[in-house]
């Protein structure tokens, strides 16, 4: 194969070159990725794709204690000449930006312990592509076998990706970690009386062995598509709205957008300046945990070398803290919360690690049973959320509830409200917390939202 330059040496070279050119400080991140993806459709292989990528990002700061100017360059060409040129361009570009008193590397408190967070199993490296494709086949076959109305499919997809992150800065921090993510996704189509409905189910894990059984994924996907057959609109009304875990996590990602330090100091969040206030029902506790073992958002250190940690965002309805990197923390007079998120080719910003809403005790079925009339949302489409005001309005599909029971599927409706009011009106939290990424939620019920239909 190829004989690449050592990753650590590339990072060191980038840093030392930036310093030689006059940078007051610098950091560099090298991300190596490789992986395979495949899709099976109608029992046949649709595509198989293999990838290898390496990208180096160099961030340079020039200036003095009164304020630093910064810029970032990145390259997928790691030859010495390219690395040298990108370091030069980073320094030159930084000189063109404004001196910013809040810019710069963290002052200290870099991660010293790099715990094994179970993000990668070396055994999975010996990857049999055929075996992974077989999983996709089994998922699709199980979906089709469940019911004769499953007549078509967008396919069943598997992927395995491996990453290595190497980060160093001129303040003396140097660290690296490896991670992997493996996924199986199945998207069958149900057909009845000429109408088609698609839906999906998926499983995602740091280890191949942790993935759900392919046949179970296929069956679940098929059940979800089948229950949408015969969907219709409902009349415009105001009713309780239940979000299943898949859709509820989108509410949590909206909440994240409003507690991110950047939105707060820019005043583009309706939660700016509200630390300590009751912003949600007492049922709501939201945690961001950067070191959850095997977590899909876990990492031993963040994008600036700060240790990741356990942050309380909302505690029993009260806003406890924002999520911050060094820059947004300085703008707010606060310390970083270890939430700097970056790739090789982007400067740090704030990202969630493993952000979740603490589960309650009721099953989704119990929540439905205690809802006289309402909508259970199973899919949301469109981008109708405004973090500045909290205004919320999105397209939805799901199941109509009458007398505590599922009555019929619903489509082509919108649900609308305001996130601030929705969080306060949250009156049921499920026990079914579901991790399918770095943001997770159990089922949630909002006491009243406007459903627009016919």
Partner 1 sequence: MNDTLIAPPASFFCDRFGLDNGCLTATLGTALERRVDHADLFFEYTTEDSVALEEGMVKTGDRRLSQGVGVRVQAGERQGYAHSDEITVESLRIAASTARAISEGPGPGRAVAVRSAVAPARNLYPVTRPPTDAPVDRKVALLGEIDAYARSLDPRITQVMASVVAQHRVVLIAASDGTLAGDVRPLVRLNVQVIAANAAGSRRESGYQGMGGRFEIERVFAPEAWRPLVAETVRLACLNLEAVPCPAGTMDVVLGPGWPGILLHEAVGHGLEGDFNRKKTSTFADRIGQRVAAPGVTVVDDGTIPTRRGSLNFDDEGTPTQRTVLIEDGILRGYLQDRLNARLMGMAATGNGRRESYAHLPMPRMTNTFMLAGSDPPEDIVRSVRRGLYAVSFSGGQVDITSGKFVFSANEAYLIEDGQIGRPVKGATLIGNGPDALLRVSRIGNNLELDRGIGTCGKDGQSVPVGVGMPTIRLDALTVGGTEA
Q: Scan residues 40-99 and list those touching partner 1 (CB under 8 A).
A: 41, 44-55, 70-77, 82, 86, 89-90, 93-94, 96-98
**Which of 291/394 has CB closer to partner 1?**
394
Among 124, 134, 147, 154, binds partner 1 (CB under 8 A): 154
**Which of 176/379 has CB closer to partner 1?**
379
Pick out residues in 11-40 that bind partner 1 (CB under 8 A).
Answer: none
Inter-residue contact 157 to 135 (CB < 8 Å)? no
Binding mask 245-284 for partner 1 (x = CB under 8 A): ---------------------xxx-x--------------
Which of 66, 68, 65, 72 has its CA nearest to residue 18? Answer: 72
**Which of 55/363 has CB closer to partner 1?**
55
Q: Does 392 bind partner 1 (CB under 8 A)?
A: yes
Q: Does 1 bind partner 1 (CB under 8 A)?
A: yes
**Which of 164/310 has CB closer to partner 1?**
164
Give the separation between CA 448 and CA 454, rounded to whole angstroms. Answer: 19
User: Which phi and psi (to 5°) does residue 222 adopt?
Assistant: -65, -40
Q: Does 221 bind partner 1 (CB under 8 A)?
A: no
**Which of 9/195 has CB closer to partner 1?**
195
Among 196, 365, 372, 402, binds partner 1 (CB under 8 A): 196
Among 345, 404, 406, 427, binds partner 1 (CB under 8 A): 345
Among 228, 254, 330, 445, binds partner 1 (CB under 8 A): 228
**Which of 338/390 has CB closer to partner 1?**
390
Among 127, 204, 334, 347, binds partner 1 (CB under 8 A): 347
Q: What number of chain residues touch partner 1 (CB under 8 A)?
A: 82
| 221-249 residues labelled b (16+ CB within 10 A) or e (exposed) | bbbbbbbbbebeebeeeebbbbbbbbbbb
Inter-residue contact 169 to 150 (CB < 8 Å)? no
**Which of 90/429 has CB closer to partner 1?**
90
| CB 425, min distance to partner 1, A | 13
**Which of 71/208 has CB closer to partner 1?**
71
Give the separation between CA 278 and CA 318, rounded to whole angstroms. Answer: 4
Handedness of CA 10, 14, 19, 23 (dihedral sign): negative
Binding mask 434-453 for partner 1 (x = CB under 8 A): ----------------xxxx
DSSP string for residues in 332-368: HT----S-EE--TTS--EE--SSEEEPP-SB-HHHHH
Among 215, 216, 369, 416, binds partner 1 (CB under 8 A): 416
Give the separation between CA 125 and CA 35, rounded to whole angstroms. Answer: 10
How many CB atoms are located within 10 Å of the residue 309 CB? Answer: 16
**Which of 41/274 has CB closer to partner 1?**
41
Handedness of CA 408, 443, 262, 321 (dihedral sign): positive
Which of 154, 295, 159, 161 has its CA nearest to residue 218? Answer: 154
| CB 154, min distance to partner 1, A | 6
Which of 182, 161, 185 has its CA nearest to residue 39? Answer: 185
**Which of 94/165 has CB closer to partner 1?**
94
Q: Does 417 bind partner 1 (CB under 8 A)?
A: yes
Pick out residues in 277-336 that bind partner 1 (CB under 8 A).
Answer: none
| CB 92, min distance to partner 1, A | 8
Inter-residue contact 34 to 52 (CB < 8 Å)? yes
What's the length of the chain?
A: 454
| CB 34, min distance to partner 1, A | 10
Strands of 172-308 (E only): list them: 174-192, 195-198, 201-205, 237-243, 286-289
> Among the candidate windows 215-223, 241-249, 305-313, 376-384, which touches partner 1 by CB under 8 A?
376-384
Q: Does 414 bind partner 1 (CB under 8 A)?
A: yes
Which of 407, 410, 352 has its CA nearest to residue 380? Answer: 410
Among 124, 223, 315, 391, binds partner 1 (CB under 8 A): 391
| CB 38, min distance to partner 1, A | 9
Order of strands, edge to edge, in the sheet holding 318-319? 318-319, 310-315, 286-289, 355-357, 439-441, 434-435
Q: Does 131 bind partner 1 (CB under 8 A)?
A: no
How many CB atoms are located within 10 Å of the residue 133 CB? Answer: 18
Among 20, 148, 236, 370, binds partner 1 (CB under 8 A): 236
């Amino acid at each position: 194969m190829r004989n690449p330059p050592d990753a650590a040496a590339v990072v060191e070279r980038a840093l030392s070159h930036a310093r030689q050119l006059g940078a007051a400080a610098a950091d560099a991140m090298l991300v190596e990725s490789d992986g395979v993806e495949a899709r099976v459709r109608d029992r046949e292989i649709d595509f198989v794709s293999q990838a290898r990528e390496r990208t180096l990002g160099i961030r340079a700061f020039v200036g003095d204690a009164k304020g630093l100017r910064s810029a970032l360059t990145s390259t997928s060409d790691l030859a010495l000449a390219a690395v040298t040129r990108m370091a030069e361009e980073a320094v030159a570009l930084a000189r063109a930006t404004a001196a910013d008193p809040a810019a710069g590397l963290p002052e200290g408190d870099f991660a010293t312990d790099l715990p094994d967070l179970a993000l990668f199993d070396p055994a999975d490296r010996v990857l049999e592509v055929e075996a992974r494709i077989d999983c996709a086949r089994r998922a699709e076959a199980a979906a089709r076998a469940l019911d004769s109305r499953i007549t078509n499919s967008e396919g069943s997809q598997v992927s395995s990706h491996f990453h290595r992150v190497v980060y160093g800065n001129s303040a003396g921090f140097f660290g690296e970690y490896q991670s992997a993510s493996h996924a199986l996704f199945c998207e069958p189509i149900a057909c009845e009386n000429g109408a088609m409905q698609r839906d999906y189910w998926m499983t995602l894990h740091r280890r191949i062995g942790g993935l759900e059984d392919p046949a179970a994924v296929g069956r679940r996907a098929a059940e979800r598509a089948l229950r949408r057959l015969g969907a219709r609109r409902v009349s415009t009304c105001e009713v309780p709205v239940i979000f299943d875990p898949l859709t509820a996590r989108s509410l949590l990602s909206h909440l994240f957008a409003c507690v991110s330090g950047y939105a707060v100091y820019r005043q583009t969040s309706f939660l700016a300046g509200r630390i300590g206030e009751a912003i949600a029902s007492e049922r709501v506790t939201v945690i961001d945990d950067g070191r959850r073992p095997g977590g899909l958002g876990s990492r031993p250190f963040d994008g600036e070398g700060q240790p990741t940690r356990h942050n309380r965002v909302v505690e029993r309805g009260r806003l406890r803290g924002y999520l911050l990197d060094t820059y947004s923390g300085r703008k707010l007079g606060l310390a970083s919360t270890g939430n700097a998120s970056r790739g090789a080719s982007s400067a740090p910003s704030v990202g969630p690690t493993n952000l979740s809403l603490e589960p309650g005790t009721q099953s989704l079925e119990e929540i439905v049973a205690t809802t006289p009339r309402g909508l259970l949302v199973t899919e949301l489409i469109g981008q109708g959320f405004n973090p500045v005001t909290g205004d919320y309005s999105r397209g939805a599909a799901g199941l109509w509830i009458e007398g505590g029971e599922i009555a019929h599927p619903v489509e082509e409706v919108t649900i609308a409200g305001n996130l601030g009011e929705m969080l306060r009106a949250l009156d049921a939290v499920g026990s079914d917390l579901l991790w399918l990424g770095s943001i997770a939620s159990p089922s949630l019920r909002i006491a009243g939202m406007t459903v627009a239909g016919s």
